Amino acid sequence: YFPKLPEPPVSCLPFPPIDAPSFGLVQEQLAHEPFKLLIATIFLNRTRGGVALPVLFKVFESYPTIDAVASADLAELVSMIRCLGFQNQRAKKCIAIAQLWQSEPPVKNKRYRKLHYPKKLDGRDVAAGECIDDEDPRAAWEIANLPGVGAYSLDSWRIFCRDELRGLAKDWKGTGSAIPDFVPEWKSVLPQDKELRAYLTWMWLKEGWVWDCHSGDLTPAGEKTLRAARREGVALEEDGNWVLQTSPVKKAPNGLHAID
C-alpha cells in the first residue's frame, strides 16, 4: 500500500480582460522612465510584488532622480530596503547603475554583449567592453553594460522601453511608429519570468493569438478562449505557458476568484 501523495499546488493568477487598459505590471507604469524600471526589476527579482513595490516607491520618494540615487548613502539605502533581503547587493547595484547612467546613459546605436542572452552562447562573439552599432547583426543590448543587469531586467526593458529609446515608436505598443508594418520589440521576447510571460500571453491574445512562451510559436485563439479572454478570469500555468480558464469564474465570498 502506497499512500497517495498530495497534488502539487496549481500555479494561477488573475487575468484582466483583454480590453482592459493595462495588465497591472509596475513596468507598464514606468515604461517611459527606463532607469526607474530597471531599479524596479532589481527590487522585484526574487521578491513578491506585494513586498517589493511599497519599498520601491518609498525609495523613489527619497531618491527621485538618477543623480539622487547615484549620490545616495549606501548605509541609508540598505536600511530602507532591508526587509527585501539581499539588501546590500541590491543597494550597491542601484547606486552603481545610477553612477554609470550619469556618464554613459543608454542610447541607440551603442550596444554591449550579455553572455548567453537571450539564447545560450549569444554574446560570445562580442568582446568584453566592445561597443557595437545597430548595423552589426550580433546579439547585444543598449543597457547590457550596466552592472548587474540580468535576464529579467533585460526582458523587462526590451518589452517596455527599447522601441522608445531607439526612436522607433512612442511606446512599447508601437504607437506613432513611422515604419510600415512595424513589429514592436515585445513580440520577440521569450522571458523566463512568470509575470512577464503572463503579460505577453495577454498581449498576444489581444491580437487573437495563443502564444507559446518557449518557442514563440503562435496559433489562432479559438472562440472559447477569446470569450474567456474578454472577461475577467484566471490563467493556469501548464509547462510554463499560461492557459486561460475557459469556464466561468465565480467570485468567492472573500472576493477571491474561485475555479469550478
| pLDDT digit string, tens, across residues 111-162 | 999 999 999 999 999 999 999 999 999 999 999 999 989 999 999 999 999 9
Would you say 106 and 143 are in contact if contact means Cβ atoms under 8 Å apart?
yes
Give the pLDDT confidence score for residue 30 in this predicted structure: 98
Would you say 80 and 95 are in contact if contact means Cβ atoms under 8 Å apart?
no
Q: At CA 34, angle to CA 157 and CA 38, rounded to 5?
A: 65
Give the pLDDT confidence score for residue 101 in this predicted structure: 98
Give the pLDDT confidence score for residue 46 in this predicted structure: 84
Q: Specify the pTM.
A: 0.90
Amino acid at 88: N
Can you tell me the mean pLDDT for 66-86? 97
Give the pLDDT confidence score for residue 5 in this predicted structure: 45
CA atoms of 228 and 249, how far apart (whole Å): 9
Can you tell me the mean pLDDT for 67-95? 97
If we measure between CA atoms, which residue out of 84, 89, 104 comes closest to residue 43?
84
How many C-beta neighbours within 10 Å does residue 122 have?
16
**N residues, the chain:** 260
Task: Return the sign of the alpha-carbon dihedral for residues 30, 33, 36, 37.
Answer: positive
If we measure between CA atoms, which residue out of 132, 65, 137, 130 comes closest to residue 98?
65
β 233-238/209-211 pair status: unpaired
Looking at the chain, the whole-number percentage of residues with pLDDT higher than 70 is 91
The mean of the pLDDT values for the chain is: 92
- DSSP 3-state of 34: helix
If we measure between CA atoms, which residue out of 215, 160, 195, 185 comes closest to residue 46?
195
Each residue of 188-217: pLDDT tens digit? 999 999 999 999 999 999 999 999 999 999
How many C-beta neighbours within 10 Å does residue 175 have?
12
* Strand segments (E) across the chain: 12-15, 209-211, 218-220, 233-238, 241-244, 250-251, 257-258
